[in-house]
Structure 1
Amino acid sequence: MSAQLRDVAGELAGLLWREHTVYRERSGGVVIRGEHVRRWISLAPAGGRGEVLVRAGRILDGGTTAPARSEAVVPLSAGTGVLAAACRRLLAETAADAAPITPGRAAPKRSGRSSRSARSGKAARRGGSGKHTSFGSWVVLACIAGVIALFVYSTATRG
């Protein structure tokens, strides 16, 4: 399977980018790096026979790779054209995730996890700033106050 992946990756690299580097991973997969577009594609055997797991990500400053932003499972029997189309879609998703947001413009709607700095869904529905104490926090505070009150009461009754 790894020899077949290497051949497919070579053809795919030629379709995707003029300048590319293809190398084999320790896990048996193949990586295609496009330094000039600062993106990478990884092809690895998937769980099913004749299927390949395609992952796409960015190349960071200094040449290190960021974790994969998107992935898909594609049958190898579909051909290089279908595989290239899937790679282009994943690369487009990766580019959309990496696009800087200019001030004054609304952020594009994305599916998946939001950033840590984004407000939670409850705070957005409530319309507040998201800094209010939640019900669970009040319960914890009440339990702590109860334990302190019990300690004070038991100390006062002994003496």
Structure 2
Amino acid sequence: MGARLGETASELAGLLWREHTVYRERTGGVVIRGEHVQRWISLAPSGGRDEVLVRAGRILDGGTTAPARSEALVCLSAGTGELAAVCRRLLSETAATPAAPHGHGQRGPQRRTPRRRTPRGRTPRGRTATRSRRTGLASWAVVVVVVAIVGLYSAFYGRFFL
């Protein structure tokens, strides 16, 4: 499947873009990068014998790839032309979706107004924004062990001091 997938990816890359880079992933899939259009296509074997998972995404500034924005299952027996048509559809869906801000991926909507902070990085209520005031289970375990040691010490050695 891997050799066939590599050959299919090379043919597909020639149909989609004049300038492209084809490379193999660690998972056995093949990636086609079109740097001039800032898009990538990934072909990965799926659970089916003759099926391939096609994913499309963007290439961010600096050359890193954004997560896939669209994907589809395609039979390899359908031919390279059918596969190219599916890839073009996925690429058009990728171009139609708005770009995510750098470093944020596909998270939900962000808060419009940031939380107000005082000069020392604390929230107005006085607590730090990153830590909670709750005592953790490990802290309680340490307290119980220390109390037990003090109790045992006073039980055994306390009678000598009286």
TM-score (norm 1): 0.63
Alignment of 1:8-23 (within 5 A): 8-23=8-23
Which residue number corresponds to residue 93 of structure 1?
93
1:85 Cα offset (Å): 0.4
Structure 2 CA distance, aligned partners of 1:96 and 1:9?
Answer: 24
1:98 Cα offset (Å): 3.2
Paired residue secondary structure (1:15): helix
1:58 Cα offset (Å): 0.1
Q: Which has the larger Rg?
A: 2
Any unmatched runs of 5+ in structure 2? 101-105, 112-162
Structure 2 CA distance, aligned partners of 1:114 and 1:23?
Answer: 29
Q: Which amino acid aligns with 2:40?
A: W
Please, which of 106, 109, 124 is the counterpart of residue 116 of structure 1?
A: 109
Structure 2 CA distance, aligned partners of 1:51 and 1:74?
Answer: 6
Structure 2 CA distance, aligned partners of 1:90 and 1:41?
Answer: 9
Q: Percent identity?
A: 77
Structure 2 CA distance, aligned partners of 1:28 and 1:17?
Answer: 22
Is residue 59 from structure 1 mapped to residue 52 from structure 2 by the alignment? no
Which residue number corresponds to residue 27 of structure 2?
27
1:114 Cα offset (Å): 9.0
Paired residue secondary structure (1:44): strand
Which residue number corresponds to residue 156 of structure 1?
none
Any unmatched runs of 5+ in structure 1? 101-112, 119-159
Which residue number corresponds to residue 69 of structure 1?
69
1:30 Cα offset (Å): 0.1
| Aligned residue-pair number | 106
TM-score (norm 2): 0.62
